[in-house]
Amino acid sequence: MMHGSGWWRFLSYDESKGKAQVDRALLRRVWSYGRPYLGQISMVLLAITISSLIELIPPLLYRDLFDTVLPNRDFMRLNWLGIGMVLVPILSNLIGVAERFFSARVGEGIIFDLRQGMYEHLQRMSLHFFTHTKSGEIISRFNNDVVGAQSAITSTVPSIVTNSVTLLTTLAVMLSIEWRLTLLSIAVLPLFLLPARRVGRVLREIRREAMEHNADMSAIVGETLSINGALLAKTFGRLKQERARYKSSNAAVRDIGVRRAMVGRWFFMGLGIAGTIGMALIYWGGGYLVLEGTISAGTIVAFVAYLGRLYGPISSLSNVQVEFATSMVSFERVFEYLDLPIEIQDRPDAIQVTESAGAIVFENVSFRYAKEGEAAPNGKSNSENGKDEAAQIQPTRRTALQGISFDIQPGELVALVGPSGAGKTTITYLLPRLYDPSQGRILLDGMDLRTLNQESLAQQIGMVTQESYLFHDTIGANLLYAKPDASQDEVEAAARAANIHDFIAGLPDGYETLVGERGYRLSGGEKQRLAIARVVLKDPRILVLDEATSHLDSQNEALIQAALEPLMRGRTSIVIAHRLSTVLAADKILVLEDGQLVEQGKHQALLEQNGLYARLYETQFAHTQY
């Protein structure tokens, strides 16, 4: 189950009970996805109708065989009946192929639209959605839930239409042949219909519970079988416990599957008994009427043949009611994600940033992490916890920044210093609008960030974090992520600037070398230098970086520092400083404590104040390398 705020009201209203109703609003919303395919849907309905009418012919041929051909020994008529019995199913199946083609186009098209819409919606969610949602839960929505919705479109709905048309046309023909036998045939209908409502409710609840268990199991797999999770479990000796945790979730999926299978088996057994009773009634009633001379034996043969077309659709429709109700759970769960509020959105008249000068102003900026379910001061739900210091914020102190004001001139280097949890990372997250301030505003070249187009803003900012994320792809592809149209010469120039080209050139596959999951085939220093090369290739006007290199050896640290110095030259740079060389070179040092800006200025002036910076200098910087 996903936890968080803002979206909690969308996800909790029926997750625990699983009793949300398939109401008209839900059906209208599902239909809105089918409306663009109305022409192809019409072709499906036409094909189903024609096919159902054609399939009414064989029982009439059987009756003619017993009532006319055999008594009259009519060989010519027998030949034509034989040809008809072959041609009818061939024609019906050809029409069925066309119907399947159009229904598949409709179903796959709707699911494509649904899946694409959900991906694009989630892509626009703010950062704290991803810090509060297990990746396995998201993947489960795309896989299990979308596939369930796909089944409703490609199988359940066509089945409803097909069986409805078949049922109505069969009843019409049966009534035209013998109304008394028709009444006997439908006398058992309550035995089909009454259990369906109860079973539908039970299976609907089972379906939702099964989806939740599957999502939990997917989350465990995603967490523990990723490279980070595997390393953590192995190094902490928790393999046995993780196996037990997965076994528990896996067992829940197994048990709910068995329960669903048994409910379905009992249901189908009841439908089979109802059909048997109906057929016995036809043989009994029909035999009685034949003995009385009221109907012919061929009529009984035709009716028995029609019973399959009558009870088959009735059974299917009874089951379809169950399938449709349970498949709507999939749509509900997909719509739950589509209904999550997007907290950081572009305004309709958002300004495109084409070339930034790099002037940055924070005006009385405050930011707080709201409790789960609590609305943040900006009027939107806000319970995010970002990485690094954001994750360290305790529930008792949710305010990350309080009344922060400073300005950065174009081309300046600003160093952020302060103890852990002081608000340094939060500042770097606010600048590219990963979050919005709870109060105050942030200006870029005199324009409020909220008025700017987010994509164009992102083009102006390059970020290098401590955790350098690489896709499971080649080195070249990871570099080109910054600039897809870059030439090979540009890629190599960026790699040289980051002191990584010689290393890449020495690999057997060069720039075509796969980096592995999250880049784990590379060392920490190599990943960091690739991240720097990627930002060099992007060539942003503003640089935001966390230069922490404490986990690297001295050689890699020196290489990274050598790569960072030219990278920062001529750009507006905001650096979470961990080295004395950075704070000495900074045009301005911002000293943070408990979310407040307590000091700012140059190194020597701050030392003379003998405040927090002076203490940090003695404990953090005085003994670091230049």
Q: Is the pLDDT of residue 596 over 90?
A: yes
Nearest Cα residue to 109 out of 40, 170, 194: 40
Place of tokens 């927090």: 612
How much is the pLDDT for 78? 86
Residue 319 has pLDDT above 70, yes or no: no
Looking at 284-293, 376-385, 515-524, which range is the least confident one? 376-385
Answer yes or no: is pLDDT of 15 > 60. Answer: no
Two tokens at 83?
Answer: 């040809």
Contacts 24+ apart (CB under 8 A), 499-508: 499/529, 499/559, 499/560, 499/562, 499/563, 500/526, 500/529, 500/530, 500/532, 500/533, 500/563, 503/529, 504/475, 507/475
If one compares 504 and 231, the residue with the highest pLDDT of the two is 504
Report for 27-31, 212-216, 271-275, 500-504: range of highest mean pLDDT: 500-504
In which band, very low, low, confident or very high, does the pLDDT at 393 lie, cut at 50, 70 and 90? very low
Provide the pLDDT for residue 588. Answer: 94
Are residues 563 and 574 in contact, defined by beta-carbon separation less than 8 angstroms?
A: no
pLDDT (average), residues 566-592: 86
Determine contact, residues 154/330, Cβ cutoff 8 Å: no
Q: What is the mean pLDDT of the chain?
A: 80
Is the distance from CB of 200 to CB of 117 less than 8 angstroms?
A: no
Question: What is the band of 306 on the pLDDT scale with cuts at 50, 70, 90?
Answer: confident
pLDDT tens-digit readout, 454-496: 889 988 998 888 777 788 889 999 999 888 899 999 999 999 8
Least confident of 25-34, 60-69, 234-243, 389-398: 389-398
CATH of region 360-621, choose from 3.90.1170.20, 3.40.50.300, 3.60.150.10, 3.30.70.270: 3.40.50.300
pLDDT band at 375 (very low <50, low <70, confident <90, very high): very low
Average pLDDT on 235-242 reads 78
Whether residue 105 is predicted with pLDDT greater than 50 in this model: the reply is yes
- Give the contacts of 626 (CB within 8 A, at least 6 positions apart): 579, 580, 581, 584
Mean pLDDT, to the nearest integer, of 401-412?
A: 93
**pLDDT category of residue 623 using cuts at 50, 70 and 90:** low
- Where do the structural domains in the chain lie, given as residue ranges? 21-338, 360-621
Query: Is the fold of 21-338 the same as that of 360-621?
Result: no
Task: Report the pLDDT value the prediction gives residue 362, as an integer from 0 to 100.
Answer: 95
Q: How far apart are CA 477 and CA 470, in angstroms?
A: 10
Residue 443 CB-half CA count within 13 A: 14
Helix/strand/coil (H/E/C) assignment for every residue in 424-462: HHHHHHHCCCCCCCCEEEEEECCEEHHHECHHHHHHHEE
Residue 147 neighbours by CB distance under 10 Å: 12
Asked whether 148 and 111 are in contact (CB, 8 A), the reply is no
Task: Give the number of other CB atoms < 10 A from CB of residue 522.
Answer: 20
CA–CA separation, 590 and 581 (whole Å): 15
569 vs 394, more confident: 569
Backbone angles phi, psi at 6, to 5 degrees: 85, -60
Q: State mean pLDDT over 585-589.
A: 91
Instruction: Please check the confidence at residue 99 and state whether its pLDDT lies above 90.
Output: no
CATH topology of domain 21-338: ABC transporter transmembrane region fold (1.20.1560)
More confident of the two residues 203 and 536: 536
CA dist 120 → 50, 114, 117, 136, 332 (Å) = 40, 10, 5, 18, 18
278: Cα within 13 Å, side-chain hemisphere: 29
Q: How far is the C-alpha of 386 from the C-alpha of 367, rounded, in Å?
A: 13
pLDDT band of 160, cuts 50, 70, 90: confident
Side-by-side strand order, sheet with 360-368: 399-408, 360-368, 439-444, 447-448
